[in-house]
Structure 1
Amino acid sequence: MNYGIALFPSKKLQDLVNSYRKRYDTHYALVPPHLTLKTSFEATEDELNEITKELRQTASVTSPLQLSIKKVSSFAPVNNVIYLKVEPTNELQELHDRLHTGSLSSEPEYSFVPHITIGQNLSDDEHSDVLGSIKMLDITHEEVIDRFHLLYQLENGSWTVYETFLLGKESE
């Protein structure tokens, strides 16, 4: 089964992001607005037990994270993804790095650029138009995130939460 690890922002930010995603993101119906910490990976039921144990440990030693958004950006010309740029912090980078060690050891396909996708799979012209108009908006947001989520992918391609891990909480 496919799994992934993500942070979900507040409902207020999700509502703002979804106001654009419903028009510009082909994955709108598959997963809520999120910040990906670990992209899709496969795991068996046995591996999952070890993974969740490690995730509980990682969460227990990680303090809640500051999420700060100050602008809209894009991955063009590599791909036509428009996103809210999350200001990188050492704490966010350390959490990302921890989620690529131990039983989750892997080399990420891309450098870690914390972001929340607004639009993807756009034509070049649509990408240019949408990015130009959204960049004119003053989108700034700050919040504290106190949990991350292990997600799994359903047969229809959508993602749902398997388990939630509270940051800074000792394992039970």
Structure 2
Amino acid sequence: MTMKYGIVIFPSKKVQDLANSYRKRYDPHYALIPPHVTLKSLEASEGQMKEVTDTLEEIAKNHKGFKMNIKKVSSFQPVNNVIYLKIEPTDELASLHQEINNKIIGEKPEYAFVPHITIGQKLSNDEHSDVYGSLRMLNVEHEESIDRFHLLYQLENGSWSVYETFRLGKEL
């Protein structure tokens, strides 16, 4: 039996609180998973997980901690009605994402990697345009250090739980 897994970065509590203040109203997944940056989604059997965790352990050792900057609220419109906190792309984040996607089983990403934290989704066109219209005026300016990523698995009720945490190998 395969289960759904996700490889994510959780931002600091300060950023989670900010994101959740909007997610409560605009994201139907609010109760299922904390605010996060998705690096990869995959499906795997319990038997494949040893290989997945060993590979992630290796990847974590090869990457050092990095700074994550959140600069503004943005949207994926017209592709879909997702509103998010935009994370400035960095070489460290891009290379971590790329190595995970090259070495871990699972589908290739559907879209190009745009690091973000979703704050609203599954909105109608009118809702999206109202909400985005007001949120994009927010002055979001935040920098924090990232020193780990997490492998999550999805429970039967749709919520997500941490399977294992991987510390990035080289200190900042």
Decide: shared fold, TM above 0.5.
yes
Name the residue aligned to 2:117: 116
Q: Distance in 1 between matches of 2:44 and 2:150?
A: 16
Contact 1:147–1:167 (CA under 8 A) maintained in structure 2? yes
Counterpart of 1:12 in 2: which secondary structure? helix
CA shift for structure 1 position 105: 5.7
Partner of 1:62: 63
**Offset at residue 67 of structure 1 (A):** 0.6
Query: Once superposed, which parts of structure 1, at least 4 consecutive aligned residues long, lie more than 4 Å away?
Result: none
Equivalent position of 1:129 in the other structure: 130
Asked if 2 retains the 8 angstrom alpha-carbon contact of 1:99 and 1:105, the reply is no
Is it true that 1:14 corresponds to 2:48 in the alignment? no
RMSD of Structure 2 on Structure 1 (CA): 1.3
CA change 1:105–1:120 in 2 (3 A) is closer
- 8 Å contact from structure 2 (residues 43, 106) kept in 1: no
Paired letter, 1:128: S
**AA in 2 matched with 1:165:** F
Distance in structure 2 (CA, Å) of the matches to 1:154 and 1:61: 30
- 1:19 alignment partner, SS class: helix
Mapped pair 1:34 → 2:36: yes
1:133 Cα deviation after fit: 0.7
Percent of pairs identical after alignment? 66
Residue identity in the other structure for 2:150: H
Match of 1:23 in 2: 25
CA shift, 1:104, in A, is 2.6
| AA partner of residue 6 (structure 1) | V
* Alignment length (residue pairs): 169
Normalised by the length of structure 1, the TM-score is: 0.95
Give the distance between the partners of 1:125 and 1:158, measured in 2 at CA.
28
CA contact 2:9–2:39 (8 Å) conserved in 1? yes
What SS does the aligned partner of 2:23 have?
Answer: helix
- Supply the distance in 1 between the matched residues of 2:51 and 2:165 (Cα, whole angstroms): 15
Per the alignment, residue 87 of structure 1 pairs with 88
Q: How far, CA to CA, are the matches of 1:107 and 1:9 in structure 2? A: 24
Stretches of structure 1 lacking an aligned partner (at least 5 in a row): none
**Amino acid paired to 2:143:** E
Task: Kindly provide the amino acid, as one letter, of the partner of residue 110 in structure 1.
Answer: Y
Q: Deviation at 1:106?
A: 4.0
8 Å Cα contact 1:5/1:37 also seen in 2: yes
Aligned residues of 1:68 and 1:141 also touching (Cα < 8 A)? yes
Q: What is the rounded CA distance, in whole Å, between the counterparts of 1:110 and 1:163 in structure 2? A: 26
